[in-house]
């Protein structure tokens, strides 16, 4: 992941070859071609989700799990004891089959709201994952430099250098990232005092995008719920769709804008009242721009150079450990 730009410098032909079949169903070949062009230029890409189409079949959920299974944590037990116990143990390793909320092993789930529209009860299903904010506070406020954002709009947590301190979760307006204890760099450097694991969330299948393919959830959806493309085009399509159904948009301005854009036939404040919320189950409330506040701006400016040094150290330490391990020596 250190040279993500080179991995995602894919040709338009490669993108079309990898995703053409799914693209015809999802967004049309021309949309995918424009998405490919945006990727080549390093421009942000976004996803439009027409939740009026979602039937909660969970094909996207299981496609996500299959595509990302090799990234899931494999914790070492017993876990180190933390002093002080300020960072609680979070262990999902015996609950990997859970699909009704976000966990370190489940980065996408279907949130359901039952609402009344014109006197008729209606079920709305909402695929939920990381919103991939335009200006992500999880990235800007990570003190270890483990969270990063690429030019194409993907925000990702580098599990190789994350210490699991959950600053990203605290900064996220939707509290998306989830921790797994007993895995990651903290086991090597400060197992009793560091962050107690690694944080996990959707990374938009960066490995598939790098190969010129669609994200697994987009590719697998049988109902054409999702469309991927350049953000400016996705925003335009979202407004056209909302106008055609007399609907509503979420994600365009929330938290300063995101790269996950929902369109619904039902107001999102009504959906927010109807969905189950809590740990691993994000809200659909209005969200002000977290990075527009003076405190967060100042904190981000102070953290940026420190996070860069910390991330460099983390990568150096990881490489050193790998070299020592390969040679049979000790660090």
* pLDDT per residue as tens digits for the range 111-121: 999 998 878 89
Higher pLDDT, 74 or 210: 74
pLDDT surpassing 90 at residue 3 = no
Contact 164, 195 (CB under 8 A): yes
How large is the average pLDDT for residues 88-106? Answer: 97
Residue 35 clears pLDDT 80, i.e. is over it: no
Mean pLDDT for the stretch of residues 155-173:
93
Confidence (pLDDT) at 68: 97
- What pLDDT is attached to residue 264? 97
Coil vs helix vs strand at 279: coil
pLDDT category of residue 122 using cuts at 50, 70 and 90: very high
| Structure confidence at residue 85 (pLDDT) | 78
Average pLDDT over residues 99-103: 98
Whether 239 shows a pLDDT value over 80: the answer reads yes
CA distance 73 to 106: 11
Give the mean pLDDT of 270-286: 97
* pLDDT score for 119: 83
- Write down the pLDDT at residue 295: 74
End-to-end CA gap in the chain: 24
Q: In this predicted structure, what is the pLDDT of residue 326? A: 65
The answer to whether residues 2 and 147 touch, using CB atoms and an 8 Å cutoff, is no
The residues pairing with 80 across neighbouring beta strands, listed in sequence order, are: none
Confidence at residue 189, expressed as pLDDT on a 0 to 100 scale: 84
Q: By the 8 A CB rule, do 189 and 165 touch?
A: no
Q: Per DSSP, what are the bridge partners of residue 126?
A: 111
Determine the pLDDT at residue 211: 82
Would you say residue 261 has pLDDT above 90?
yes
Q: What is the mean pLDDT of the chain?
A: 85
Q: Read off the tokens for 238.
A: 């979202």
* Dihedral-angle region of residue 163 (phi above 0 means left; psi in -120 to 50 means alpha; beta otherwise): alpha
Instruction: Report the range of poorest mean pLDDT among 82-86, 113-117, 152-156, 217-221.
Output: 82-86
pLDDT band at 8 (very low <50, low <70, confident <90, very high): very low
Average pLDDT over residues 67-90: 91
C-alpha to C-alpha distances, 113 to 103, 160, 219, 267, nearest whole angstrom: 20, 37, 24, 12
Return the number of other C-beta atoms located less than 10 Å from residue 322's C-beta: 11
Q: Look at residue 4 in the predicted model and tell me its pLDDT.
A: 37
pLDDT reading at 147 higher than 70? yes
Instruction: Provide the pLDDT for residue 33.
Output: 63
Per-residue confidence (pLDDT) for residue 26, from 0 to 100: 38
140 within 8 A of 291, measured Cβ to Cβ: yes
Q: What angle do helix axes 231-244 and 29-41 make, rounded to 10 degrees?
A: 150
């Amino acid at each position: 992941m250190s040279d993500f730009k080179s991995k995602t410098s894919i040709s338009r032909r490669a993108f079309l070859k990898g995703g053409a079949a799914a693209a015809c169903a999802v967004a049309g070949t021309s949309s995918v071609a424009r998405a490919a062009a945006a990727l080549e230029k390093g421009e942000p890409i976004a996803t439009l989700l027409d939740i009026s189409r979602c039937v909660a079949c969970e094909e996207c959920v299981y496609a996500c799990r299959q595509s990302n299974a090799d990234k899931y944590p494999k914790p070492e037990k017993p876990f180190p004891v933390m002093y002080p116990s300020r960072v609680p143990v979070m262990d999902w390793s015996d609950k990997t089959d859970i699909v009704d909320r976000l966990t370190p092993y489940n980065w996408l789930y279907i949130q359901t709201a039952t609402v009344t529209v014109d006197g008729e009860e209606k079920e709305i299903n909402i695929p939920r994952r990381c919103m991939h904010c335009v200006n992500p506070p999880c990235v800007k406020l990570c003190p270890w430099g483990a969270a990063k954002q690429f030019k194409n709009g993907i925000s990702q947590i580098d599990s190789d250098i994350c210490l699991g301190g959950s600053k990203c979760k605290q900064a996220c307006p939707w509290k998306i990232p989830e921790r797994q204890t007993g895995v990651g760099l903290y086991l090597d450097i400060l197992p009793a005092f560091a962050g107690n694991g690694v944080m996990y969330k959707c990374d938009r299948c960066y490995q598939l995008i790098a190969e010129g393919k669609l994200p697994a959830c987009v590719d697998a959806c049988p109902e054409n719920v999702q469309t991927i493309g350049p953000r400016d085009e996705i925003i335009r399509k979202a407004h056209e769709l909302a106008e055609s159904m007399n609907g509503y948009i979420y994600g365009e301005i929330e938290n300063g804008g995101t790269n996950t854009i929902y369109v619904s036939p039902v107001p999102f404040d009504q959906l927010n009242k109807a969905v189950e919320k809590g740990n691993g189950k994000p809200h659909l409330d209005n969200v002000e721009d977290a990075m527009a506040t003076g405190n967060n701006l100042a904190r981000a400016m102070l953290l940026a150079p420190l996070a860069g040094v910390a991330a460099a150290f983390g990568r150096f330490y990881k490489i050193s450990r790998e070299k020592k391990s390969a040679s049979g020596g000790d660090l």
